[in-house]
Structure 1
Amino acid sequence: MSLTQLARTKVQELTPYQSARRIGGQGHIWLNANEAADSGQFSLNCERLNRYPECQPPQVIERYAAYAGVNPERVLVSRGGDEGIELLIRTFCEPGSDRILITSPTYGMYAISAETNGVQVVDVPLTQARQPDFDGIIARLDEVKIVFLCSPNNPTGDLVDKAGLVRLLKAAQDKALVVVDEAYIEFCPAHSQVDLLNDYNNLVIIRTLSKAFGLAGIRCGFTLASPEVIGLLLKVIAPYPVAEPVAQIAAQALSEEGLLLMRQRVEEINRLKTELTEQLQKHAQVKEVFAPNGNYLLVRFTPGSEIFARMSRAGIILRDFATRPGLADCIRITIGSRAEMDAVLDVLHKEQ
């Protein structure tokens, strides 16, 4: 008997999430994973590496709470935002019977985490205006435990309409959690939904240090929620989810100096994004530049496959979304350094 047959049937059937690193590619300019172009400098104290770390490092929790504008009891730190997503599913969904709801096209890990845990997925696609179909979602609340929304949405960049979100939160009260994934919110901080946490105990917000903070490599994310939800997640999370070096770097990133560095990085990325948008809109092969709210641009080319191939030949690795519903000919471009953006424009302009 193959050892594969010993695995859960659902796992045997799964296709793993195709992250940028798994897809890979041959090149020297990597603009496919929405990573920052730099990380900054950090120091490590190795004196406590022989000890198990705190489950929830107090300094990290307190500094993130102050940064996010919430009380510390509303904060949980985890191995990236992805662990926060999975913890919510494992905590609130019964395998084999419960469901989550997603609004495609959106971040793929919501569905992967659900399927891995034996939880079904209901998909209510975005509207033509690329907003959640709030009427459609509300109509299906009795079927689901968790609704996942992404704002800015990955990969389209669109922001969730606040009035629609409030209507959904009211309809979902005592029925379902509403999770707003704000992995990219630092690039448009005025549009965070964090102020709604005090009014709606069924709202959960996912955050990360991977994007604006330039720390994708340390895997550090945050879940913001009511103290009741945080308490339930603490029952499920691993005993030592945040390594001591990660906690030290995260605390430094959330210091006054670290926050200043992050905001300077965001300012530069947003400036480069605006410049790239202006250049793309003049290009003959560009049909549409999607909402510019993250550290990336989703662009519809004519044809996308030809642009993707040209970039690849030049050693520039982008992310192709052509197989996603409604995203034919769409390519996502991470906003990297000025030199990397110049390289992208150079390839586009050379063969116009």
Structure 2
Amino acid sequence: MSPTLLARAKVQQLTPYQSARRIGGQGHIWLNANEAADSGKFNLDCERLNRYPECQPPQVIQAYAAYAGVSPEQVLVSRGGDEGIELLIRTFCEPGEDRILISSPTYGMYAISAETNGVHVVDVPLTAERQPDFDGIIERLDEVKLVFLCSPNNPTGDLVNRDGLLRLLNAARGRALVVVDEAYIEFCPEHSQAALLADYDNLVIIRTLSKAFGLAGIRCGFTLASPEVIGLLLKVIAPYPVAEPVAQIAAQALSEQGLVLMRNRVDEINRLKDELARSLLQHQQVREVFAPNGNYLLVRFSPGSEMFARMSRAGIILRDFASRPGLSDCIRITIGNRAEMDAVLNVLQKEQ
């Protein structure tokens, strides 16, 4: 018997998440994965590499709690925000019985993590204004355990409306958890919903060091929630989720000096993003530039395939979202360094 036939039926049917690395491409300027253009420099102490790491390194937990404005008991560190998403599904959803809710188009790993774990997905698409359909979500709260909202939303860049979120949180009390994925919040920190954790024990926030901190390669993310929710997640998480070198780098990134480095990086990315947005809006093939709240811009070209091909010929690898509902001709451009943005602008200007 083929090993494939021994796998769970759901896994046999599953289409894996098409990450930027899996899709790949040929080029020398990689602007398809929302990575930072640099990471900074860090020191490693190798004296303890012979020992298993702590499950939740105190120096990382305390530093992130101070940064996020919450208590250490409200913080869990994991292998990227993706593990936080999966832990929530594994902790709160019975396979084959329970459901999560998403609002497409949005980050693909919510659905993939659910499907991998045998959990059903309810999709209440974004409205024409690219906001969660709060009325539609509230109507279906009794069907689901978890509601995933992404703010800024990947790939559109839109922020969740606070009044709508408050209405949802109040409606979901005792019925479902509302998970707000803030992977890109450092690029618009004034719009974080972390302050609401003090009043809503059904709110969960996902964070990461992959974007603004420039540390996608170490896979370090955080879940912020009530101590009760964190305690439940700690029952499910692997014994050693954070490698010792990762913990050391994360603690340095969250130091006072590390936070200054991160904020300077964010300022530069936001400046370059604004410059690119202005140039795009003047381009004859650009029909729409979506909300500029992350470290990327989603752009609707006319046609998108032709622009994607032109960039590819110039060695610039972007992310094509044309196959997603409502995103025909849309391409996502990660904001890189100035030289990379100049290369993008050069292609845009060359063939107008």
> What TM-score results when the alignment is normalised by the length of structure 1?
1.00
Question: CA offsets per residue over residues 28-59 of structure 1, 9 Å max, x none?
Answer: 00000000000000000000000000000000
Q: How many residues align?
A: 352
Alignment of 1:1-352 (within 5 A): 1-352=1-352
* Partner-residue secondary structure (3-state), 2:312: helix
* Partner-residue secondary structure (3-state), 1:298: strand
Q: Tell me how far apart the structure 1 counterparts of residues 122 and 204 of structure 2 sit (CA, whole Å).
A: 19
RMSD over aligned Cα atoms: 0.2
Deviation at 1:98, TM superposition (A): 0.2
Q: Tell me how far apart the structure 1 counterparts of residues 255 and 25 of structure 2 sit (CA, whole Å).
A: 36
Question: CA offsets per residue over residues 123-171 of structure 1, 9 Å max, x none?
Answer: 0000000000000000000000000000000000000000000000000
Deviation at 1:92, TM superposition (A): 0.1
Give the residue type in structure 1 aligned to 2:255. S
Q: Tell me how far apart the structure 2 counterparts of residues 63 and 350 of structure 1 sit (CA, whole Å).
A: 47
Q: Tell me how far apart the structure 2 counterparts of residues 142 and 72 of structure 1 sit (CA, whole Å).
A: 31
* Partner-residue secondary structure (3-state), 1:44: coil
Question: CA offsets per residue over residues 53-75 of structure 1, 9 Å max, x none?
Answer: 00000000000000000000000
Give the residue type in structure 2 aligned to 1:112. I
* Partner-residue secondary structure (3-state), 2:125: coil
Q: Tell me how far apart the structure 1 counterparts of residues 69 and 207 of structure 2 sit (CA, whole Å).
A: 13
Give the residue type in structure 2 aligned to 1:22. R
Q: Tell me how far apart the structure 2 counterparts of residues 48 and 168 of structure 1 sit (CA, whole Å).
A: 46
Give the residue type in structure 1 aligned to 2:323. T
Q: Tell me how far apart the structure 1 counterparts of residues 97 and 78 of structure 2 sit (CA, whole Å).
A: 26
Give the residue type in structure 2 aligned to 1:319. R
Contiguous gaps of at least 5 residues in structure 2: none
Give the residue type in structure 2 aligned to 1:219. R
Deviation at 1:190, TM superposition (A): 0.1
Q: Tell me how far apart the structure 2 counterparts of residues 178 and 166 of structure 1 sit (CA, whole Å).
A: 10
Q: Tell me how far apart the structure 2 counterparts of residues 24 and 138 of structure 1 sit (CA, whole Å).
A: 39
Where in structure 1 do 4 or more consecutive aligned residues deviate above 4 Å?
none
Give the residue type in structure 2 aligned to 1:114. A
> What TM-score results when the alignment is normalised by the length of structure 2?
1.00
Give the residue type in structure 2 aligned to 1:15. T
* Partner-residue secondary structure (3-state), 1:197: helix
Question: CA offsets per residue over residues 192-219 of structure 1, 9 Å max, x none?
Answer: 0001001000000000000000000000
Q: Tell me how far apart the structure 1 counterparts of residues 153 and 307 of structure 2 sit (CA, whole Å).
A: 23
Question: CA offsets per residue over residues 59-116 of structure 1, 9 Å max, x none?
Answer: 0000000000000000000000000000000000000000000000000000000000
Q: Tell me how far apart the structure 2 counterparts of residues 9 and 141 of structure 1 sit (CA, whole Å).
A: 28
Q: Tell me how far apart the structure 2 counterparts of residues 289 and 176 of structure 1 sit (CA, whole Å).
A: 34
Q: Tell me how far apart the structure 1 counterparts of residues 302 and 295 of structure 2 sit (CA, whole Å).
A: 23
* Partner-residue secondary structure (3-state), 1:35: coil
* Partner-residue secondary structure (3-state), 1:65: helix
Give the residue type in structure 2 aligned to 1:313. R
Give the residue type in structure 2 aligned to 1:23. I
Q: Tell me how far apart the structure 2 counterparts of residues 124 and 249 of structure 1 sit (CA, whole Å).
A: 39
Deviation at 1:246, TM superposition (A): 0.1
Give the residue type in structure 1 aligned to 2:218. I
Contiguous gaps of at least 5 residues in structure 1: none
Give the residue type in structure 1 aligned to 2:138. I
Give the residue type in structure 1 aligned to 2:184. Y
Q: Tell me how far apart the structure 1 counterparts of residues 351 and 271 of structure 2 sit (CA, whole Å).
A: 25
Q: Tell me how far apart the structure 1 counterparts of residues 350 and 258 of structure 2 sit (CA, whole Å).
A: 39
Give the residue type in structure 1 aligned to 2:74. R
% identity of equivalent residues: 86
Q: Tell me how far apart the structure 2 counterparts of residues 185 and 349 of structure 1 sit (CA, whole Å).
A: 31
Q: Tell me how far apart the structure 1 counterparts of residues 123 and 345 of structure 2 sit (CA, whole Å).
A: 36
